[in-house]
Amino acid sequence: MPKLCIISGSGLSASAGLSTFRGPDGLWRNHDPMTLATPEAWQRDRHLVTEFYNERRAKAWQAEPTAAHRAIARLEEGFETTIVTQNVDSLHERAGSSRVLHLHGELDRVRDTADPNQRKDLHGAAVDPDEQTPGGGYWRPNVVWFGETIHHYDEALDAVASADRLIVVGTSLTVQPAASMMLYAADQAEKVVVNAEPLDLPEGFRFIQTPADEALPALAKQWLGHV
Ligand code: APR
């Protein structure tokens, strides 16, 4: 089976009602990431940070996979697919995709500050910022904050470099190292970028300026030869 890699960003989940980061109603337009999404912010105000992620987790848990998420899952009928996502929601998995690498972690998981191997899945539930963990620490969101190391980097890079086809969808390509991963795609790979707004792209990338919920089902139909 030919190999397909999808690099996805928050624009993919926008139509599910989840905020992007830099759009008109983006999260970072209405909140200062330095007070909510850094290890220092957690040290400074664990309750504020926990509350911010509790709200995002509840919203993400109530959201439904979009037509684009479902089209991406359908592409597994014809391609060995790896998803390299910047998103912390679980909409890819709930749409049926089987291999999802979360570069920036997962909203629905928390880990013990006293023992990073102690984790638990919340199934949308809120965390009590004062609940002590088995190791005597607190439960922090298992998301990657600014200044922290992204997850699955080597595995993700390998998926991009070995892909016969690459789709980059719903990302402003502004946060490194995720933004540069697409550059590791093979010259001969078919490379498509789907975004609502224009992007500066290197040579060799076909740009489709269309909402993901239209572009991805059309690509799936074209590449699978049926709906
Ligand atoms: N279809 C396609 N693209 C869309 C849609 C849509 N329906 N809606 C929005 N977009 C595009 C926007 O035009 C924008 O270019 O999605 C992109 C979203 O960009 P950002 O808000 O910057 O989100 P993202 O690229 O995922 O951010 C990367 O930044 O703060 C960190 O950890 C956070 O993972 C996030 C990372």
pLDDT single digits (tens) 175-196: 999 999 999 999 999 999 999 9
Q: Are residues 133 and 223 in the same domain?
A: no
Q: Is the CB of 3 under 6 A from ligand 1?
A: no
CATH number at residue 54: 3.30.1600.10
Tokens 């998995």 correspond to: 93
Boundaries of domain holding 35: 19-62+106-143
Cα(15) to ligand 1 centroid in Å equals: 12
Taking CA atoms, 83 is separated from 30, 47, 152, 181, in Å, by 29, 32, 11, 12
Query: Which of residues 86, 116, 143 is at a domain's end?
Result: 143
Cα(23) to centroid(ligand 1), Å: 7
Tell me, yes or no, whether 34 and 116 share the same domain: yes
Greatest C-alpha distance within the chain: 55
Probe residue for ligand 1, chosen from 7, 18, 20 as the CB with the greatest number of ligand atoms within 8 Å: 20
Q: What pTM, to 2 d.p., does this model score?
A: 0.97
Q: What is the mean pLDDT of residues 41-46?
A: 96
In angstroms, how far is the first alpha carbon of the chain from the final one?
Answer: 19
Parallel, antiparallel or unpaired: strands 105-112 and 115-121: antiparallel
Query: Could you give the percent of the chain with pLDDT greater than 90?
Result: 94
Task: Look up the CATH number of the domain holding residue 215.
Answer: 3.40.50.1220
179 ligand 1 Cβ < 6 A: no
86 and 193 part of one domain: yes
The atom number, within ligand 1, closest to the CA of 10 reads 26
The confidence band for 23, taking pLDDT boundaries of 50, 70 and 90, is: confident
The type of residue at 9 is G
To test ligand 1's pocket by mutation, which of 19, 21, 102 has the most ligand atoms within 8 angstroms of CB?
21
**104 part of the active site:** yes
For the chain, the domain total comes to 2
Does ligand 1 have an atom closer than 6 angstroms to the CB of 210?
no
51/136 same-domain check: yes
pLDDT at 172: 98
For the Cβ of 86 lying below 6 angstroms from any atom of ligand 1, the answer is yes
